[in-house]
Chain A
Amino acid sequence: MSEILKMQNLNKRFGRKIVLKNFSMALEEGKVYGLLGKNGEGKTTLIRMIMGVIPADSGEMFYKDKKINFNDSSYKKQIGYIPEDPFFFSWMTIKELLDFNSSFYPSWNFRKAMDYSERFSLDKKTKIKHLSRGMKLKLGLIAALASEPQLLILDDPTSGLDVPTRQDFLKDIVRELSDAGTTILFSTHLVHELERIVEHLSILHGGHLILDDDYERVKDLTRRVRMTFEDSLPEQIEMGGILSELKKGNRMEMVIYPWDVEKERKLNMFSPLRLEVEPLSLEEIFVSFVS
């Protein structure tokens, strides 16, 4: 699969605070990427840099192998972007806003805009100033989807949506888009939302990616190990990939990535009374990686 977007050694700081440090990442066409990170780790900053809203201090970005600069714009015609808190001109009606937005995108699909408006129960004559946050997010979704994007970037968009719409969006719309070959970069802190749709998992921490792998692989290779010993715990277990460690009495709990049979053999050499190995949920994986 070819790369639709590639970032190399991006750096960004706000005053003294380093937000991104030699950040690199590549998105392959047609995949659904989950970008996770704690609040303030730079997810929104990264997305704003991709969208040309703010410039990187240094580093390079490529869209379909073509280098893009801060002032480039044509690549954005193929990108749908829904910010966390989308802005629209409050005096416009929904119809006027969609009309205004359509002038920027040559591939704007009026039919699709109308269909989604009906699907989300938005009255086109309603003024934007009368919309709730959730309704604005729906409008943002329509605006992003009607441009027929090849890459859809979602910056934590579902937190303001009601449960039915969120389900509809996550289950159906994202899936539809993914099936149609649209690449999706989904940034969120509501980790459990991603579990059903994500194909590739990236965790941003300390200014760079600490995990960037296929979600299925991550799921397969991340394990929680519980060990019970007869007397005291071993003084030290020297082993690579221990993400977290918890000791209590003669019990010990670890999260290990990547997990393999060699590591299981090594742990058995400490002669535990019991050794339990179990998979983790996405939320648990995320917490283990960033804690």
Chain B
Amino acid sequence: MSLKIERALEEPMFGKLFLKEWREKINIFIFALIAILLFLLVFLTNSNERELRELSASAMILIFLPFVALLLGSSGFYAEFRDDAWAYLFSRPVKKWKIWIIKYFSLLAILFSILLIFVLAMQITPGLKEIVRSLTFPTGFERDISFFTLGLLLNLFFFTIAFSISFMSEKQFIIIFASILIGLGLTFVLYEHLYFLQLFYPYRLGLKGIFPFVALSFISASILTFMKSDFSQMRKKISFFSKLGALFLIISIGLSTAWTMASGSFIGSREVIYNLHTFEGDAYFSTYKGIFRYLPSVDKVEKIEKSKLTFPLISIGGGKILFSNYKGWREDTQELWVMNTDGSQGKCLICNSHKKDSLLNNFHLYSFLISPDGKKVAFLGLPLKKIARSSWPNLFWMNSDGTGLRSMPLDFSKINNFRYAAWTEIVAWAEFGNNLVILLRPRSGSTAFTKILMFSPENETYKILAENITGPWRLPVSEGQDFLAFFYRSESEEKKILTLLNLKSLEKKEISRDDLIKPGKIKWSKNGEKIVFLSEKNKSEFHLVVYSLSRQKIINTKELNQDKSFPFITRMDWVFNDQKLALGSVTSGKGYLKVLDKDLNEEKRIDIPFPAKYPLDVWGLNNIALIIDYDKGELWRVNLETEEWRKIYEN
């Protein structure tokens, strides 16, 4: 096919058709150029208005340029069908698919020219590139796709969808609206479908993957309709396209599902370090190759579980490691193993969960947690047959020797705002392993409804420990599961309050500060004696704050003069026996580690030896810091004294 396309493009009529398209669409090109010039004018004349500059750049990337793409795409064939020119084109001695392809590439060339001009403008306009690079999503999207990439993908996506259906109506605005509705609607459905799969498999296809699948479905349906359908009969044409489109979409969904599943077990897993925990001075991490332990004292990585694993998640406590694994493709073929932290005495706790007589049959298991003494294990299970969002999970708990498996359904529907099932996860063991702390997060709506519950498995009762939880997304628990930290919104005041909960005594310590308007990351020290958190008062004022539990007060605070993206891409951990901090940060594709002394002053800055585009998670082990290269699935360690880097794990 590609050879045929190549030949088609070499034919003399290609040049003529290409020029014809340029001539006919030159007004759109000029319109885009004028808009880009106006944007640049606004941008350059408002050099002190950062918000306006960001807003205008965002609008250009996510709204205007995709709109130009829609205009161009929808103009593909609508005029031909309005003027009856399609009969003229179809009666020429040229294959119909060639007409489609030539037109598509001609208009695509116009679109690329406009995008190229915008990219060039980005390069030469002072400050524009930096602004575009700093644009981020409100939350959690950054690993999926960057802002600028999403803008470019939207351009291609909308262009293709609009072009593919441009022969469906003689009215351009109908094509544009239909493209937006159909394109975004289908993408949303597919994205949700794959997001749902993520419950069982480690990777979802993501927007970058979904856009091409939907677009390819439309292209295929459009070309085949062009080649086979009777264009003199509108109803037949639409029916033909719809049937083909539905068929290709089903194939796409199948392919994307297969891709997702395959990437979960094969492709994606090669590049994934699933979990990394530090525990009692060592680091433990899991990959598809097994479970590993890094011993900083001898600077060595040991393989403590040699079996190949699928989506292995680990939990450590009381000298034992709990880890999960999928035995087969099915969701109910999960295994749960426990072993000593040196890899000895491995025991399968759950190996035949899919058997009909098993208590775990037809449950998808998640949120595994071993107790701090290593004697108990708890996890949740979503019923597979009712895995729709209306179902509540079951709580399972058992001894870590494999005995005493018990289960009970968790139904919190009586709690306000939880008439429908919420996302539920186990946060920690509390009260010396007798009770469990469970987080209840609404699936939609305000996160302020998030609650923390204390659940007693023995008595099958629960009580609400805290409400209006605003973050962080993953509630930080100290290494020994002694303390839990979270922010909640005070009902009387606007500000948020940091709460430190003693998981043994259930005592709460509340820390209120004026600048806790938008609190960020929290990290417990290894000994659980203090925490550091990032606090954002407004868009230009960030503070690192250290609180000591023993002294019951804030012992240090430091304003960070960084660019705006700082809090979104900064991760940190304690190093040098909890005396110093290591911060991982990325700017302009370059990553570095900053070591802050006990007064939070920058002591040194160490460049990271690989290109970094994601937020850099940092794990501290005394004078060693660990960082993952997410692109390659490699683990690096740096000696913070000698600044010597070494790759300690690679796929």
Which 4 A-B pairs rank lowest in CB-CB distance, beginning with the nearest? A76-B93, A103-B13, A51-B91, A77-B93
Inter-chain CA distance A103–B102, complex, in Å, is 14
Inside 8 A of B92's CB, which chain A residues have their CB?
Answer: 73, 76, 101, 104
Which among B11, B13, B91, B233 is the interface contact of A81 at CB below 8 angstroms?
B91
Chain A 78-94: CB-based contact to B (< 8 A → 1; otherwise 0): 01010101111101000
A258 in contact (CB, < 8 A): no
Chain A 189-211: CB-based contact to B (< 8 A → 1; otherwise 0): 00000000000000000000000
B85 in contact (CB, < 8 A): yes
* Total contacts A-B at CB 8 Å: 74
Which among B15, B24, B87, B94 is the interface contact of A73 at CB below 8 angstroms?
B94
Q: A55 touching B20 by the CB < 8 A rule?
A: no
**Contacts A15-B233, A51-B90 known; 12 new A-B pairs at CB < 8 A:** A53-B232, A54-B230, A55-B228, A76-B91, A76-B93, A83-B87, A87-B84, A88-B88, A91-B24, A100-B16, A103-B13, A104-B93
Q: A89 touching B85 by the CB < 8 A rule?
A: yes
Q: From A47, which residue of chain B is reached at the shortest CB distance?
A: B91
Inside 8 A of A79's CB, which chain B residues have their CB?
Answer: 93
Q: A70 touching B228 by the CB < 8 A rule?
A: yes
Task: Give residues of chain B (10-27) contacting chain A, Cβ–Cβ below 8 Å.
Answer: 11-13, 15-16, 20, 23-24
Known contacts A71-B97, A87-B83; decide if A52 and B91 are in contact (CB<8 Å).
yes
Inside 8 A of B230's CB, which chain A residues have their CB?
Answer: 54-55
B96 in contact (CB, < 8 A): yes
A99 in contact (CB, < 8 A): yes
B227 in contact (CB, < 8 A): yes
Interface on chain B toward A: helix, strand, loop, or mixed SS? Answer: helix
Inter-chain CA distance A102–B96, complex, in Å, is 18
Task: Give residues of chain B (55-95) contacting chain A, Cβ–Cβ below 8 Å.
Answer: 83-88, 90-95
Q: A54 touching B93 by the CB < 8 A rule?
A: no
Q: B87 touching A48 by the CB < 8 A rule?
A: yes
Chain B 213-241: CB-based contact to A (< 8 A → 1; otherwise 0): 00000000000000111111100000000
Choose among B16, B92, B97 the residue with the greatest number of A CB atoms under 10 Å from its CB: B92
Task: Tell me the B residues contacting A by CB distance below 8 Å.
Answer: 11-13, 15-16, 20, 23-24, 83-88, 90-97, 227-233
A74 in contact (CB, < 8 A): yes
Task: Give residues of chain A (21-57) contacting chain B, Cβ–Cβ below 8 Å.
Answer: 48, 51-55
Inside 8 A of A71's CB, which chain B residues have their CB?
Answer: 95-97, 227-228
Q: A14 touching B94 by the CB < 8 A rule?
A: no
Q: B23 touching A103 by the CB < 8 A rule?
A: no
Inter-chain CA distance A77–B13, complex, in Å, is 13
Inside 8 A of A101's CB, which chain B residues have their CB?
Answer: 92
Please give the distance in Å from B94's CB to the nearest CB on chain A. Answer: 5
A105 in contact (CB, < 8 A): yes
Inside 8 A of A86's CB, which chain B residues have their CB?
Answer: 88
Inside 8 A of B229's CB, which chain A residues have their CB?
Answer: 55
Q: A53 touching B90 by the CB < 8 A rule?
A: yes
Inside 8 A of B95's CB, which chain A residues have their CB?
Answer: 71-73
Task: Tell me the A residues contacting B by CB distance below 8 Å.
Answer: 14-15, 48, 51-55, 70-77, 79, 81, 83, 85-89, 91, 99-101, 103-105
Inter-chain CA distance A190–B20, complex, in Å, is 36
Inside 8 A of A54's CB, which chain B residues have their CB?
Answer: 230-232
Which among B24, B83, B94, B227 is the interface contact of A104 at CB below 8 angstroms?
B94
Inside 8 A of A88's CB, which chain B residues have their CB?
Answer: 88
Inter-chain CA distance A89–B20, complex, in Å, is 9
Please give the distance in Å from A17's CB to the nearest CB on chain B. Answer: 11
Inter-chain CA distance A88–B87, complex, in Å, is 11
Known contacts A53-B90, A88-B88; decide if A103 and B12 are in contact (CB<8 Å).
yes
Q: B13 touching A104 by the CB < 8 A rule?
A: yes
Inter-chain CA distance A224–B230, complex, in Å, is 43
Inter-chain CA distance A88–B83, complex, in Å, is 9
Please give the distance in Å from B230's CB to the nearest CB on chain A. Answer: 5
Please give the distance in Å from B494's CB to the nearest CB on chain A. Answer: 62
Please give the distance in Å from B14's CB to the nearest CB on chain A. Answer: 8
Known contacts A55-B228, A99-B16, A103-B13; decide if A91 and B23 are in contact (CB<8 Å).
yes
Please give the distance in Å from A15's CB to the nearest CB on chain B. Answer: 8
Q: B16 touching A53 by the CB < 8 A rule?
A: no
Inside 8 A of A14's CB, which chain B residues have their CB?
Answer: 232-233
Inside 8 A of A83's CB, which chain B residues have their CB?
Answer: 87-88, 91
Inter-chain CA distance A79–B11, complex, in Å, is 20
Inter-chain CA distance A72–B91, complex, in Å, is 10
Q: A103 touching B233 by the CB < 8 A rule?
A: no
Q: From B94, which residue of chain A is reached at the shortest CB distance?
A: A73
Inter-chain CA distance A83–B91, complex, in Å, is 10
Could you give 21 example pairs across A and B, Cβ below 8 Å? Answer: A14-B233, A48-B87, A51-B90, A52-B91, A53-B86, A53-B232, A54-B232, A55-B230, A71-B95, A72-B95, A73-B93, A73-B96, A74-B93, A76-B91, A79-B93, A83-B91, A87-B84, A87-B85, A91-B24, A99-B16, A100-B16
Q: A105 touching B87 by the CB < 8 A rule?
A: no
Inside 8 A of B97's CB, which chain A residues have their CB?
Answer: 71
Inter-chain CA distance A99–B23, complex, in Å, is 15
Q: From A49, which residue of chain B is reached at the shortest CB distance?
A: B230
Inter-chain CA distance A72–B92, complex, in Å, is 11
Inter-chain CA distance A53–B13, complex, in Å, is 19
Inside 8 A of B11's CB, which chain A residues have their CB?
Answer: 103
Please give the distance in Å from B412's CB to the nearest CB on chain A. Answer: 58
Inside 8 A of A76's CB, which chain B residues have their CB?
Answer: 91-93
Inside 8 A of A104's CB, which chain B residues have their CB?
Answer: 13, 92-94
Q: A53 touching B93 by the CB < 8 A rule?
A: no
Choose among B83, B88, B91 the residue with the greatest number of A CB atoms under 10 Å from its CB: B91
Inside 8 A of A91's CB, which chain B residues have their CB?
Answer: 23-24
Inter-chain CA distance A86–B13, complex, in Å, is 20
Inside 8 A of B23's CB, which chain A residues have their CB?
Answer: 91
Inter-chain CA distance A55–B87, complex, in Å, is 12
Inter-chain CA distance A53–B86, complex, in Å, is 8
Q: From B229, which residue of chain A is reached at the shortest CB distance?
A: A55
Q: From B226, which residue of chain A is reached at the shortest CB distance?
A: A71
Inter-chain CA distance A48–B90, complex, in Å, is 9
Inter-chain CA distance A54–B96, complex, in Å, is 12
Inter-chain CA distance A83–B85, complex, in Å, is 12
Q: From A55, which residue of chain B is reached at the shortest CB distance?
A: B230
Q: A103 touching B16 by the CB < 8 A rule?
A: yes
Q: From B11, which residue of chain A is reached at the shortest CB distance?
A: A103
Q: A48 touching B227 by the CB < 8 A rule?
A: no
Please give the distance in Å from A8's CB to the nearest CB on chain B. Answer: 20
Inter-chain CA distance A54–B13, complex, in Å, is 22
Inter-chain CA distance A72–B98, complex, in Å, is 11
Known contacts A48-B232, A100-B16, A103-B15; decide if A53 and B96 are in contact (CB<8 Å).
no
Which among B88, B94, B228, B231 is the interface contact of A87 at CB below 8 angstroms?
B88
Inter-chain CA distance A277–B45, complex, in Å, is 96
Inter-chain CA distance A99–B94, complex, in Å, is 16
Please give the distance in Å from A181's CB to the nearest CB on chain B. Answer: 20
Inside 8 A of B20's CB, which chain A residues have their CB?
Answer: 89, 100
Q: From A56, which residue of chain B is reached at the shortest CB distance?
A: B230
Inter-chain CA distance A73–B86, complex, in Å, is 15
Inter-chain CA distance A70–B92, complex, in Å, is 12
Please give the distance in Å from B225's CB to the nearest CB on chain A. Answer: 12
Inside 8 A of B87's CB, which chain A residues have their CB?
Answer: 48, 53, 83, 87
Inside 8 A of B233's CB, which chain A residues have their CB?
Answer: 14-15
Inter-chain CA distance A81–B11, complex, in Å, is 22
Inter-chain CA distance A213–B24, complex, in Å, is 48
Inter-chain CA distance A51–B89, complex, in Å, is 11
Inter-chain CA distance A52–B229, complex, in Å, is 11
Inter-chain CA distance A72–B97, complex, in Å, is 11
Inside 8 A of B96's CB, which chain A residues have their CB?
Answer: 52, 71, 73
Choose among B83, B90, B228, B231 the residue with the greatest number of A CB atoms under 10 Å from its CB: B90
Q: From A81, which residue of chain B is reached at the shortest CB distance?
A: B91
Inter-chain CA distance A75–B12, complex, in Å, is 18
Inter-chain CA distance A79–B230, complex, in Å, is 21
